[in-house]
A and B are shown apart, each in its own frame.
Chain A
Amino acid sequence: MRDVVAGYGGHPILHGVSFSVRAGETLVVVGPNGSGKSTLMKTAVGLLRPISGQVLFGEANVTTLGAPARAARGLANVPQEANIFRNMTVLENLQVGYEFVASHSAPSFGKRLDAVLDLFPEIRAKLRSTAGYLSGGQRQMVAMAAALMPEPSVLALDEPSAGLSPRNAEILFEVIGRVAASGVTLLIVEQNTRLGLGAADHGVVLVGGRIRLAAPAAEVLADPDIRRLYLGGA
C-alpha cells in the first residue's frame, strides 16, 4: 500500500498510509479503537476505493479493481463484523467461499472441504446448520474456513479474536499459525496486541489514521510506548 488516503463520503480517515507485506510473511496491524484499522482493511481488499494513493498486489496495481476481482487474484478476507452469510447453512457458506474464486486448476471442492474441516474439526458436525444460529466462536471459524476454501495466497483478517474466549482465541491463532506455515501471506488487524504480534513477523501501529511505528513484531512488542499504551503497562 502506498500513500493511501481513504475514508467515507470524502472525509478521510486514513491520512497517507504506506506499508507492505512480503510474500509468505505475516503482518499484524494494531492500534486503538477507531484508528482506522478496519478502514485500512477495506481499502486493502477493495471494498473502499482510496481517495488517493495506490494499492499494489505483487507487481500489479490493483487500486481500481473491485473486491471480486481482487478475490479472484487470490486475496481472501474475513471482515470484522458480519463475516458470514447468516441465512445460509455452514456448508453453503463454504461453497460460496470456494466457487466464485477458485480457478479451474484448483483442487476440487471436496478436497478443499476436507482440508479446511481438518483445520476446524468443530464445524464438521454443523455443516447443515444455519450459520446465523451458531455461537460467536463457531461463526468466526466458519468465516475463516470459508475464506480459506479457495486456497488464497493472501489472507486478510480483521480482528479474528474479537468476541472469542481467551481459549478460543488461542485455538484460532494456532490455526492461523498453521496457515502461515503453509506459505500463505497474512495481513491481520488485531486488538489483542500480545497474541497478534506473537504470531507475526512484522507489526504496524496505526494511530489516528497514521502509521506510528512499523518494525519487526518483536521490536514492536518491546517498544516501551506501545507496552504502556496497549499492553496495560505490563
Chain B
Amino acid sequence: MGQLLVNGIVAGLLLALPALALSLTFSVLRFANYAVGSYLSCGAYLVYIGNVVLGMPLWLAASAGAALFAVIAVGIDWLAYRPLRDRGGVTLLVASMGVAIALENVIRFFAGNLPRAYNVPVARPMRFGDIRLNHEQLTILVAVFAALAVVWIIFRFTRLGRMMRAVADNPDLAAVRGISRSRVVAYVWLIAGMLTTLSGVLVGLDANVEPQMGWTYLLPVFTAAILGGIANPMAAVAGALTLGLAEELATLVMPVHYRMIVTFLVMVALLLVRPWGLFGTRWVTK
C-alpha cells in the first residue's frame, strides 16, 4: 500500500509539469495546446542529443535542452499560433494538432522509432522499510518539486508572475494597465517549453525516450489540467497528483495496461459532475 502511494505520487509528479505548462498556456492564450505531448518528446530528444551524442552530464544536457526548447516553443508560437490568434480556440486547437504531427515526425525522421535511454549511472534502489524508491524516482521527486517551487514563486511574488496572472484573469484590463500581451505570451511559452522539456527528461528517465512518449502522456496531462480547472495553473498540479494516485490505486482492481481507461473515466466523471474542475472555481472556467 505504501509502495502504491509512492508510485502514485511519482506518477502524479510526472504529470504535474506538463499539466502546469498546458494550463499556463491555456490561461493566457485560451486555447488547449494539443501539441504539449510532442513538446515533451522533443525536449526529451534534445536532451538525449546533449547527454548521449555530445556526452554532457544529464543535468547540463537538461538545462541546455530546456533553454533551447524554450526558444523553439516561442518560435513555434510565432510561426504557427500567432497568425491564428484572433481566430478562436478551435482553429488553434486544430493547428496544434498539425504542430504535434509535424514535431513527432521530425523526431521519427532523425531518430527512428527505437526506444533509447539516457546515459546515467545505474544505482541500487533505496529502501525505507518495505518501500522501495529508485534513483530515477528520487530525481523525479526532487526535480519536480524544485521546478514547482520556482514556478510558484514566480507566480506569486514577481512582477512577471503578476503580469501572467493579470492577462489570464482579464486580458483587456491587463492591456489598459500597460501590460503588453505579446510579451506575456512569449514568457509563457518560454516557461512552458522549459517545463515540458524537463518533464520529457524525467519521463525518459522513468521509462524510455521514444517518439510515442508524449502521445501516451497527452490524455493524462489534459485530464490533470481539467481536474485542476484548466485555466488554473497551480491547481493543475493538484489535479496531476490526484490523477497519479487514482491511476496507481486502480491497478488494484484493473490490469496495468488499462491505466488510460482509468484516466478517461476520471475525466468523463469530472466533466459530467464538475466541469469547472475539482479545484477550480466556477468563474475561472467561464
Residue from the list A47, A84, A99 in contact with B176, Cβ < 8 A:
A47
One of A28-36, A50-58, A70-78 at the interface:
A70-78
A83 at the interface (CB under 8 A from B): yes
Contact A79 B173 (CB under 8 A): yes
Q: How far is the CA of A146 from the CA of B181 in the complex (A)?
A: 19
Query: Is the contact region of chain B dominated by helix, strand, or loop, or is it mixed?
Result: helix
Say whether B165 contacts A88, CB under 8 Å. Answer: yes
Answer whether residue A46 sits at the interface, using C-beta atoms and an 8 A cutoff: yes
Query: How far in angstroms is the closest Cβ of chain A from B37?
Result: 28
A96–B283 alpha-carbon span in the complex (Å): 21
A47 and B162 contact, CB distance less than 8 A: no
Question: Bound complex: CA of A150 vs CA of B163, how far in Å?
Answer: 16
Which residues of B are found within 8 Å of A19, using beta-carbon distances? none
In this assembly, does B175 line the interface, its C-beta being within 8 Å of a C-beta of chain A? Answer: yes
| Bound form: Cα–Cα A76–B163 in Å | 17
Is B169 an interface position by the 8 A CB rule? yes
Interface string of A80-95 (1 = CB under 8 A from B): 0011111110001001
A86 to B283, CA, bound (A): 9
By a CB distance below 8 angstroms, the chain A residues around B179 are 68, 96, 100
Looking at A68, A72, A82, A83, which has the most chain B CB atoms within 10 Å of its CB?
A: A68
Bound: A166/B247 CA distance, A: 56
- B172 to A87, Cβ gap below 8 A? no
Residue pair B175, A67 in contact (C-beta under 8 Å): yes
A45 lies within 8 A of B163 (CB): no
User: What's the nearest-Cβ distance from chain B to residue A30, in Å?
Assistant: 22
A101 at the interface (CB under 8 A from B): yes
Residue with the greatest number of chain A CB neighbours at <10 A, chosen from B175, B180, B283: B175
A132 in contact (CB, < 8 A): yes
Contact: A83 with B173, CB < 8 Å? yes
Q: How far, in angstroms, from A46 to B178 measured CA to CA in the complex?
A: 11
Within 8 Å CB of B168, what residues of A? 87
Specify the chain B residue showing the minimal Cβ separation from A97. B177
Note all chain B residues with C-beta closer than 8 A to A87.
165, 168-169, 284
| Binary CB contact string for chain B from 146 to 170 against chain A (1 if under 8 A, 0 otherwise) | 0000000000000100110110111
* Residues in chain B near residue A95, CB distance under 8 A: 162
Q: Do the beta carbons of A77 and B176 come within 8 Å of each other?
A: yes
Query: Is A121 an interface residue when CB atoms closer than 8 A count as contact?
Result: no
CA distance A79 to B171 in the complex (A): 12
Residue among B166, B172, B283 making CB contact with A79, cutoff 8 Å: B172
- Residues in A whose Cβ lies below 8 Å from that of B174: 85, 96
Decide if A183 is an interface residue (CB 8 Å cutoff).
no
Inter-subunit contact B283/A99 (CB<8 Å): no
Residues of A within 8 A of B172 (CB): 47, 67, 79, 82
Nearest chain-A residue to B159 (Cβ)? A99
Q: Count chain A CB atoms within 10 A of each CB in B159, B163, B169 and give the residue with the most.
A: B169
A66, A67, A71, A77 — most chain B CB neighbours (10 Å): A67
Query: What are the residues of chain A within 8 A of B173 when measuring CB–CB?
Result: 79, 82-85
In whole angstroms, what is the CA distance A66 to B178 when docked?
9
Question: Do B178 and A101 have beta carbons less than 8 Å apart?
Answer: yes
Taken together as a complex, chains A and B put the C-alpha atoms of A47 and B162 apart, in Å, by: 20
For A45, the chain B residues whose CB sits under 8 A away are 176
Query: From A156, which residue of chain B is reached at the shortest CB distance?
Result: B176
In the docked arrangement, what's the CA distance between A10 and B274, Å?
Answer: 38
Q: Determine the distance from Cα of A82 to Cα of B173 in the docked complex, in whole angstroms.
A: 8
Chain B residues within an 8 Å CB radius of A76: 176
The answer to whether A68 and B170 touch (CB under 8 A), given A86-B283, A87-B284, is no
**Are A68 and B165 closer than 8 Å at their CB atoms?**
no
Given contacts A86-B283, A99-B159, A132-B283, A67 and B166 within 8 Å (CB-CB): no
28 contacts between A and B (CB under 8 A): A47-B172, A47-B175, A66-B180, A67-B175, A67-B176, A68-B175, A68-B178, A68-B179, A68-B180, A71-B175, A71-B177, A71-B178, A76-B176, A79-B176, A84-B170, A85-B165, A85-B169, A85-B170, A85-B173, A85-B174, A96-B163, A96-B174, A100-B163, A100-B177, A100-B178, A100-B179, A132-B283, A146-B177
For the complex of A and B, the 8 pairs showing the least CB-CB separation, nearest first, are A100-B178, A67-B175, A71-B178, A101-B178, A77-B176, A85-B169, A68-B180, A67-B176
Known pairs A67-B176, A101-B177; list 8 more (Cβ under 8 Å): A68-B178, A71-B175, A71-B176, A77-B176, A82-B173, A85-B165, A85-B169, A86-B169
